[in-house]
């Protein structure tokens, strides 16, 4: 569908290269990010989101267990010998 233009580039070795130009992206501070760097950043973000979700779910589970213990103690059931599961 899209045609990537080929550019004749003379490499440092003096050989002529007809590879398409490597897509790059500029960020606000002027740095250039290669596609590999962008992929690594996306992968890192995905892993961090997974870890944050695990921590969030563990926190919710702890709060539910505490609430269950409070509810049982209000009813008069000994909480120390019971398990939530």
Per residue in 12-68, pLDDT (tens digit) is: 556 666 655 555 666 667 776 677 788 888 999 999 999 999 999 999 999 999 999
Structural domain for 54, as ranges: 9-75
Whether residue 56 is contained in a domain is answered as yes
Please check whether residue 82 lies inside any domain of the structure. Answer: no
Rounded Cα gap, residues 13 and 59, in angstroms: 58
pTM score = 0.50
Q: Is residue 46 part of a domain?
A: yes
Domain count, the chain: 1
Residue 78 main-chain phi, psi, to 5 deg? -70, 115
Is residue 83 domain-resident? no
Residue with tokens 């779910």: 57
Q: Is residue 1 part of a domain?
A: no
Is there a domain that residue 61 lies in? yes
7-15 long-range contacts (CB < 8 A, ≥24 apart) are: none
Residue 2 domain-assigned? no
């Amino acid at each position: 569908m899209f045609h990537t233009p080929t550019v004749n580039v003379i490499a440092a070795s003096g050989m002529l290269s007809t590879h398409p130009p490597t897509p790059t992206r500029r960020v606000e501070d002027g740095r250039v990010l290669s596609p590999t760097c962008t992929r690594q950043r996306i992968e890192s973000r995905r892993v961090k989101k997974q870890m944050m979700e695990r921590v969030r779910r563990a926190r919710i589970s702890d709060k539910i267990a505490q609430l269950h213990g409070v509810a049982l103690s209000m009813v008069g059931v000994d909480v120390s010998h019971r398990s939530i599961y």
